[in-house]
Every structure is written in structure tokens, then in C-alpha cells.
A = this chain, B = another copy of it.
């Protein structure tokens, strides 16, 4: 399938196309069968591919991630849906200690995709809004992907399913129905581990991913009117990080802001900032800054969530400070 699609539809088509292309691909998760998933990502798949390949599981995240690990070892290509990525917390040990360590410890690959909706902006409160990349990018052996566009949601999910190692695929629920794109016709896919230059500019590099890409682009558009040209890098894959793309940009612009939707302390944004600060030091004209969320759970009420989340106005303000440095 191809053509114009929402981000949600792109995810759906990627799964569909992989199910069609490879009989080893199976889906596991809660309510993904007849119901088609809480967000309807798997709608129609049970009917098309049958209950052997689209498996409704009991509420047992550790159990079904574990089962997917075993199935992956046996040669299947399991794709696990978390109803919300927050529930991956219940499978933490299984992901971190089992899936991610097998290749290093005993040479056994675990080709497995763990996917589901992450992120805030929809008033889901603390347990339905999380951006857990800061946790998972610290797990050696796990890849982490967080697409910002429909094109990447499609291409990178297909690449993730074909990857020989475990991949956490963070969809952003705020984008599901808000962004659109044109899916590729043919069979050539994106590769994991490559950042994308989302906008060229010469004054400051904003490094970001997922929903925050759109915030960065909005800020860039606003600042362009004043002659301030932001360069925006969409990381797309967080682990492994495309450090070279980031550094190349910062070497040109001499200023960097890392923008993410995580509580700031211990964020993956901090990792990116630390790497830039270390590797691009001689090129920097201003401190490498971060714009993230405060160190709290995601609050529920709209005015609170608005304060909590980064937005274009906050980016603009921070950029001005950095340019004035």
C-alpha cells in the first residue's frame, strides 16, 4: 500500500505490509484482534491474517514480551503492541535483562519490535502520556526509534521489523491523526540509525525527535521572519544515535538546543547535549542547552500540561537567549 496517509495509518500500513511480505511476522498485544487495538492500529488484521498471527493476549506485559522473545528466538518476527507505552514498565525486566542481553551474552539474536503510543498533549495524565526514551536508550542491546513523520513511521517500522535485534518503536499519539505524509511506492526502506535534516539554517541547531520536531519547525518558521535561521535535525533513531549528523550541523551553526518531551533530569536530551558539548566543544559559541519538561509526572489538567510541555514560544525564547550569548 502507498499514498497519502496519517501517521497512524502509516504505522498500520507498515504492519500490514510486513505481515503480507513475511509469514514470520506475528503481532501480540491486548485487544489488537477483533477490536483492532485501542488506537485501531491493527484494525482488520485479525480478519486478514488470522488468529495465529494476530494474537490477543491476557493483561501480562512481562508475559507476552517474554513469549515474543521466545518466539523471536525460534525464527518468528514478533511485533508487540503496548496499549500505551507506559505499560512497558511492567515488562521492564524482560526487555532490559532478557531481550537486550542475549546477543552479547550468548550470541542469540532476538529480532523483536516493541511498539505503542507514547507522549503527551492529549490529557492522558501520568500513566498514559510518558516518553520513556531516557530509560530505554540506556539499555545496551536495545534500539530505540521515535519517528516524527508519517513517512518515517512507515519506513522505520518496516526497517525495525526486519532488524535482527530488539527495537523499541515509540509512536507518538499526539501525531497519530495530526500529521500526514506520502508513503513510498516501492520496497526501499529507511535505515535505522540515520538522522534527517528537517530544515537547514545557519544560526543554531535544534536537535529533536517525535512530536517536538513539529514544535521546532513551528519555532523555526516564526523566527525565520526575523532572519533567524534554525537548523532542525530530526534524530528519528535515538539508539544508535547518528552522532555524526548532529556534530556536523553544530560545527556549522556553533549553537545547539536539544528539545525533547522528557522530564529533563536523566533525559536522552541530556545524553545528546553531553555528546555535543564534548565532541563539538571548539566550535561552540554558546552553551549547549536543553529544553525539556520539568521533573514531575505528566499532569492531567490542560493548563498544567501546557506548562509542562515544551512549545514553540518556549523554543523561541530559549533560542533568543542562546543567540544573545
Contact = CB atoms under 8 A, between A and B. Distances in A.
Interface stretch (A11-19, A145-153, A154-162, A282-290): A282-290
Given A93-B90, A93-B92, A288 B278 contact: yes
Interface in A132-149: 134-135, 137-141
A45 interface: no
A266 B286 CA distance: 23
A279 interface: yes
A281 interface: yes
A105 B277 contact: no
Contacts of A89: 92-93, 96-97
Interface stretch (A69-77, A193-201, A229-237, A267-275): A267-275
Given A89-B97, A92-B93, A101-B297, A290 B278 contact: yes
A188 interface: no
Contact of A270 (B100, B135, B274, B284): B274
A137 B134 CA distance: 10
**A: contact size bracket:** 35 or more
A98 to B, nearest CB: 10
A84 B281 CA distance: 39
B97 A127 contact: yes
A295 interface: yes
A97 B140 CA distance: 23
Interface in A47-88: 86
A287 B297 contact: no
Contacts of A139: 266
Contacts of A288: 274, 277-278, 281
A263 interface: yes
Interface in A163-207: none
Nearest to A280: B287
A105 B93 contact: no
A104 to B, nearest CB: 5
A216 to B, nearest CB: 18
A2 interface: no
Given A271-B266, A273-B278, A295 B92 contact: no
A241 interface: yes
Given A266-B268, A271-B266, A277-B287, A126 B138 contact: no
27 contacts: A89-B93, A89-B96, A90-B93, A92-B92, A100-B297, A101-B297, A104-B297, A134-B266, A135-B138, A135-B266, A137-B265, A138-B266, A138-B267, A140-B296, A141-B296, A265-B271, A266-B266, A266-B268, A266-B271, A269-B274, A270-B273, A270-B274, A277-B287, A278-B290, A281-B284, A281-B286, A281-B288
Closest 3 CB pairs of A and B: A138-B266, A277-B277, A281-B287
